[in-house]
Amino acid sequence: MPLIDQFTTQYGLVRKIDAFGYLAQLNSDSSLERKHGKVVLVTADTPLKASRGEGKTTTTIALIDALRAKGIDAAAVLRQPSMGITAAGSKGGASGGGKASLTHPELVDWGLCGEMTAIAAAQNLLVSFAEKAVDEGLLDTILTPRVSEVPSRSLRQIAVDYGKGNVPERVVLTPTSELMQIVVLSRSMAEIGERVAAMIAGTKDGKPVKYGEFIDLWRITNILLDAVKPALTETQAGSPVYVHCGPFANVSIGIPSLVSVEMACALHDVVVVEAGYGADAGAQKWLDIACRDYGAQWPSAAVIVTRATTWRDDPALSWRYPFHVQRLEGLDIPTFPLINLWEGEDGEIASLRETAKTLEFRDPIIGNLFRDGGDALGDQLGGFIDALQNGETPAQPHSHRGMSLTENAKWVAEHAYGVPAERVLLKDGFSASLAQARDLCADAGLYLDELAFVAVKSPAVMTDNDSAPEAEHTVTLKKVEVHAGAGLVQVNLTTSLTTPMPKIV
């Protein structure tokens, strides 16, 4: 029996895998059989609006189906869609479409095995314990927001204890929560416990108080017993797809759990990791947070998805797609443009290739993936497979930990958004917010600059005004929020609004 089977249990129509247990076993015995799969990053152009997807999941599914049809052991790792979004209709499903679909997309779209809701319950239970700590005089203020798996405009600003205390609070969507970040980044239940204990619950007399000072950790970790296990499902063509945690790269880190990718790499030769929304969000976070700061594998290739129309529907934004391609190529990641055609666009292939040549891209991969699935890609993957099989060993990138927060923000603005340091602006109040965060960390025994930098912004913009001439692009830094347990510092940037709690549409 393969080792992985000992850590796999059926869970309705999917299987759940104890990735923590499997990886611990592998790490404890180097003689055990395992693969050393390479990571391929699938990301996309920056969307014209948050609700308009380019087709990352559809591409991911078609890509592994096409690779497996060629005898290559490929698998995909997807983030679990936020049920609130898929059920509430703003994006529809988030599990591919047409011939590039999962066998049971309804499961993935509608709550899978309760992972999101378990994480929500755990974070909300922390808030309830903090509330009790306030009653007992251990805390004055609570810094952890409540979360909801269901979007609701009116929950953005609430008052609890209404009519008595009128304590202002905010409710954010589950995938944006610090607990979700902790599950994504941790490699054992013990690490989850340590990180939860290190979360700053709030302050007492202005000084930070951590959850570890007043809660029983097992009350939280028990809720997560099943939620920490990635789910294994498959495409309609039978290719393996792991689904675990972490959408919402706009206001959080937007990447699947690190252990789901590491487990997949031990089991398959090629592991396609989806990171969105656009390359400026999910891919930036995979590279600059997961790889640089948390030891995830640097991609051996990347695919950047776009639609034929995205280049044209807003000419003022057409600079973004080539920017993304060149950025990843500049990091020595072989980067393949993929144009996901819609019905009636087959006739445009020649002109799209021409445009790609003008832009000095690699040969683009073009197909109607909804209609044709992996068959659309089969004869176009030569260069891609060559890059994977004969490319260099993945890089060991330098961590950004220790770089000052403002320098880090400028680095990201320059490299991921194309805005030079001198055009990174500080909004009124940013410096005070930064100083407050720095003090909070210092009082908690942490050094702010040792936290990994998380950009928080609208998924549809890279700068304060993407439509402005390039020389006028700016990025405004607005405020700082510490997630000490996850080891992250979040910085809101660009003048656009961010919405950690969407409304249903």
Could you list the residues that contact a copy of itself (CB under 8 A)?
9-13, 16, 83-84, 87-89, 106-107, 109-111, 113-114, 117-118, 120-121, 124-125, 127-129, 131-132, 135, 148-168, 216, 219, 222-223, 225-226, 503-505
CA-wise closest residue to 165 among 142, 195, 189: 142
CB of 150 to a copy of itself, least distance (A): 4
Q: Please state the closest distance from residue 262 (CB atom) to a copy of itself, in A.
A: 22
Beta bridge partners of 203: 141, 208
CB nearer to a copy of itself: pick between 97 and 278: 97
Nearer residue to a copy of itself within complex by CB, 16 or 79: 16
Secondary structure (3-state) at 40: strand
Where does 281-332 have alpha helices with state H? Answer: 284-285, 292-294, 310-313, 320-330
Q: Which amino acid is at 233?
A: T
Distance of CA 276 to the CA centre of its chain: 6
Q: How far is the CB of 109 from a copy of itself (least distance, A)?
A: 8
CB 256 to a copy of itself: min, Å:
19
Q: Report the C-alpha gap between 228 and 407 in whole angstroms.
A: 34
Shortest distance (Å) from residue 94 CB to a copy of itself: 14
CA dist., res. 184 & res. 180, Å (int)? 6
Tokens of 158: 């609430």
Closest to 402 measured CA to CA, from 415, 411, 391, 393:
411
At 49, list the tokens. Answer: 């609006």
Nearest residue (CB) to a copy of itself, 244 versus 327:
244
* 100-103-109-112 Cα dihedral, nearest 10 degrees: -140
Report, in Å, the least distance between residue 441 CB and a copy of itself: 28
> Which stretches of 314-450 are DSSP H helices?
320-330, 349-358, 369-372, 382-390, 405-417, 430-443
Supply the minimum distance, in Å, between the C-beta of residue 214 and a copy of itself. Answer: 12
Nearer to a copy of itself, 128 or 396 (CB): 128
| Euclidean distance between CA atoms 364 and 303, whole angstroms | 10
Shortest CB 155 distance to a copy of itself, Å: 6
Residue 67, CB half-sphere, CA atoms under 13 Å: how many? 26
- What minimum distance in Å lies between the beta carbon of 159 and a copy of itself? 4
Paired residues of 333 in beta bridges: none
Locus of tokens 């060991």: 396
DSSP string, 236-267: TT--EEEE-S---TTTS-----HHHHHHHHHH
Residue 147 or 441: which CB sits closer to a copy of itself?
Answer: 147
Task: Output the six-digit token pair for 147.
Answer: 């979360």
Let me know: does 255 contact 184? Beta carbons within 8 Å.
Answer: yes
Residue entry with tokens 């403002």: 406
In 3D, which of 403, 420, 452, 95 has the Cα closest to residue 287? 452
Closest CB to a copy of itself among residues 57, 117: 117
Is the Cβ of residue 122 or residue 272 nearer to a copy of itself in the bound state?
A: 122
d(CA 269, CA 73): 5
Separation CA 89–CA 213 (nearest Å): 41
Nearer to a copy of itself among residue 161 and residue 386 (C-beta): 161
φ, ψ for residue 438 (rounded to 5)?
-65, -40
Q: Which is nearer to a copy of itself, 72 or 158 (CB)?
A: 158
In whole angstroms, how close is the CB of 17 to a copy of itself at the nearest point?
11
Smallest gap, in angstroms, from Cβ of residue 161 to a copy of itself? 4
Residue closer to a copy of itself by CB (options 33, 136) is 136
Are 184 and 256 in contact, with CB atoms under 8 Å apart? yes
Q: Which is nearer to a copy of itself, 10 or 390 (CB)?
A: 10
CA dihedral 289, 294, 299, 303 (to 10 degrees): -40
Please report how close the Cβ of residue 170 comes to a copy of itself at its closest, in angstroms. Answer: 9
Q: Is the Cβ of residue 114 or residue 378 nearer to a copy of itself in the bound state? A: 114
Rounded to the nearest whole angstrom, what is the least distance from the CB of residue 112 to a copy of itself in the complex?
A: 9
Find where tokens 């991609």 sit: 299
